[in-house]
Chains A and B, each alone.
Chain A
């Protein structure tokens, strides 16, 4: 081998690394700058910025579990329905077992639903896409049946305050999101489990031969999705003041998956970035809010969101091309 450490990079490769590190931040700044320029008094205000970050916590927290899942080469499209089922169960029980109890039930139910997905995928060997597609219908339907299609209103002050109160000037969901990302980061970077998750994603056969129980890691990852979906459900229900079996989390799975993919996590598994997912969640909400404020037709909003996704992924390709490495 040659002495690699002394070799300089070409300008092309430097550009590639730059895109890899700062691409998403630049997209976010461009979006923020653009709307600040277009609708100055509305968009570029402290209140708006604060609210956008608060709203992005909903997608952002959901994206944490999904990042882990996609890193292992799997997929979960049932999260929107999972959110609704966990939310209506917790909200319906809250009057009887207190708001704290309702919050705990919501999180535990989601955790359990995620665990079920994991068991189906590993032990019954049903592909994750099929399992979670099935569960997308099952969870949503049970939510309808259980509530008889009526929204479950939340009156409890504790629960309501989670999504709406501020602490030291910042909305509480922002703190929750920060804590969630902090814990997820430690799990991924500083614990053996994080290593196992990446190992399973990059080469599950090698992981098996290294003594890693691949099935257990996958079940864990689906359960983690449940955990973060539960937390997101608590926040979402709190912000809306109710858990609605039909509307809650409808289409949310696509926002969450979009955030993870936009954030640079490879669908083939193995590599991914929590920071990327967080930035991508911000991008999605900044873009959406900006277009709503600028009174862009909601269909055009979807067109723009789709194009940004494709653009970000092609940026990723560009990065690999510049570095001169086939993905």
Chain B
């Protein structure tokens, strides 16, 4: 390899966290104007590696060279100084400042020494945005922007400081198709200008579409770096999981014949969000909900769990009318809810794996009038579900945040399962988790449904809905516009219905 082509090179990088080797002797390099995809399951060490590149973490061993010169990235400002920018999944923007202020934060153009030159600030920002062909008013506040727009601002920010390396962590996770296309064309532009890009994504097709080379990490080790043109998705997947995965959707669900209705929703309304929705949920079925942003699905499902309030309509649970006002009432009925926002409202970050599992049912695992916890019983419940869901953890007192995304998801699901729920509402059950864990979650869902638990699920990956659900309901602007079953469901139809192109009648 021609050394002169390499912008940054990492050699033998090692990073240790309490009880975990996050990275072990990892080599990684990025060339000028290259898009280098970094793939691996959750827990493989991707985030740690980019945090080291961004100066947020210090490696415990190994060396870093930029243009052949040994350096140490001792802080995030050092990384900035070296012209490297990281765009994290959780953006680093200040919501109460404007787009322009965020782009030039800390480097605002000044009048004299003390006063910000607001005109220049806004004009410069506008120019950068225009160069990227991004249509955002630089005077707008960040808090008023969509996720995609925030991402564009992050990119503009990294360009404004002449970044030579931009690291993008799961940039498309929350973008729509159209926004993804836009992002890709920007990446293409950057590459032409000689900017190097490290691209991290769970979506392999994107990695293949964009990258020049792909590096696979697994269990903190670099497994291989391949030229994209000399490999294929199957090979990369097997490198990621360490075994050949040939069936992505393992074990398709038995068709439900059960016609017992578990939940029936009639004339359901939520002001501004849901209009006159009716549907039934049968015992042991997997019912999918599809819809784009603004479909109201999120509000509908939250209200079924008592986490949002309906304005009108009836809900029957096993034939009896119910009025679910809060989560604890829903839990009592046997409804479980797994959020799509695992970090924000799923995980109890400061608590252990054990405590995260038992939090819902802990009040029943007690003696002396509910005052003391039966620790033996709590442990039994935990061990049983951990085995059933194959949760990987170091010890029961390990903090939940040290688990991989897939295992965290299993814990959050396990939390509702131990409370013996009959209905499980799963929002985006495989968001942000890797291929191997995804297949496992699918398998668990199918097993649960076969056991008679009814599942309501949403997914932004339509293929997941097509492959897993018995029926799929499509909402558009708060109205139920289509219903598909196994026989007539496919991705194209779902997409069409999601954007309102197919009426309920002609289906």
Contacts and interface: CB of A to CB of B under 8 A. Distances in A.
A199 B348 contact: yes
B196 to A, nearest CB: 26
A41 B128 CA distance: 74
B373 A4 contact: no
Interface in A206-235: 206-213
Interface string B308-351: 00000000000000000011101100000101000011111111
B19 A206 contact: no
B499 interface: no
B21 A2 contact: yes
Contact of A191 (B19, B43, B328, B371): B371
B219 A1 contact: yes
B407 interface: yes
B327 A211 contact: yes
Contacts of B328: 211-213
Contacts of A192: 362-363, 366, 370, 373
Secondary structure call for the B interface: loop
Contact of B348 (A2, A191, A203): A203
A9 B18 contact: yes
Contacts of A212: 328, 359
A148 interface: no
A154 B21 CA distance: 63
A249 to B, nearest CB: 31
Nearest to A14: B18
Contacts of A271: 350
Given A4-B394, A203-B345, A198 B366 contact: no
Contacts of B360: 210-211
A168 interface: no
Contacts of B16: 7, 9-10, 13, 324
Contact of B350 (A9, A201, A324, A325): A201
Contacts of A202: 348-351
Contacts of A297: none
A138 interface: no
A326 interface: yes
Contact of A10 (B60, B370, B375): B60
B178 to A, nearest CB: 31
B334 to A, nearest CB: 12
A5 interface: yes
Interface residues of B, number: 52
A1 B220 CA distance: 9
B348 A209 contact: no
Interface centre among B305, B331, B339, B348 (most CB of A within 10 A): B348
Contacts of A213: 326, 328
A263 interface: no
A193 to B, nearest CB: 8
A165 B337 CA distance: 56
Contacts of A199: 348, 351, 359
Interface string A249-272: 000000000000000000000110
A50 interface: no
B415 interface: yes
A209 B345 contact: yes
Interface in A138-188: 186
B395 A5 contact: yes
Nearest to B220: A2
Contacts of A1: 43, 219, 392, 403-404, 407
Contacts, number: 116
B307 interface: yes
A213 B332 CA distance: 14
A291 B58 CA distance: 42
A191 B307 CA distance: 26
A152 to B, nearest CB: 36
Interface centre among B18, B56, B57, B372 (most CB of A within 10 A): B18
A195 interface: yes
Interface centre among A5, A17, A201 (most CB of B within 10 A): A5
Contacts of A125: none
Interface string A1-32: 11011010110110001000000000000000
A203 B408 CA distance: 15
A2 B41 CA distance: 12
B355 interface: yes
A206 B305 CA distance: 13
Contacts of B57: 324
B219 A198 contact: no
A270 B401 CA distance: 13
A126 to B, nearest CB: 22
B52 to A, nearest CB: 11
Interface in A260-317: 270-271
B327 A7 contact: no
B337 A209 contact: yes
A323 interface: yes
B387 to A, nearest CB: 16
B34 to A, nearest CB: 29
A212 B402 CA distance: 24
B354 to A, nearest CB: 10
Contact of A7 (B20, B337, B346, B355): B20
Contact of B339 (A198, A209, A211, A323): A209
Contacts of B219: 1-2
Nearest to B331: A211
B372 A206 contact: no
B280 to A, nearest CB: 25
B355 A13 contact: no
Interface string B30-51: 0000000000000100000000
Nearest to A272: B350
A252 to B, nearest CB: 28
A323 to B, nearest CB: 6
Contacts of A191: 366, 371-373
B407 A210 contact: no
B17 interface: yes
B437 to A, nearest CB: 10
Nearest to A202: B350
Nearest to B345: A205
Nearest to B344: A205
Contact of A208 (B18, B307, B366): B307
A2 B398 CA distance: 14
Contacts of B330: 211
B350 A270 contact: yes
A207 B348 CA distance: 8
A170 B200 CA distance: 64
Interface in B177-202: none
A198 B328 CA distance: 18
Given A4-B394, A10-B60, A191-B371, 17 more contacts: A2-B220, A7-B19, A13-B18, A191-B372, A192-B362, A198-B351, A202-B348, A202-B349, A202-B351, A205-B344, A208-B307, A209-B337, A211-B331, A212-B328, A270-B350, A323-B17, A324-B60
8 contacts: A7-B21, A10-B60, A190-B373, A195-B358, A198-B355, A202-B348, A205-B344, A325-B17
Interface of B: 15-21, 43, 56-58, 60, 219-220, 305, 307, 326-328, 330-331, 337, 339, 344-351, 355, 358-360, 362-363, 366, 370-373, 375, 392, 394-395, 398, 402-404, 407, 415
Interface of A: 1-2, 4-5, 7, 9-10, 12-13, 17, 186, 190-192, 195, 198-199, 201-203, 205-213, 270-271, 323-326
A-B pairs with lowest CB-CB distance, top 8: A4-B394, A211-B328, A270-B350, A205-B345, A202-B350, A1-B392, A2-B219, A211-B331
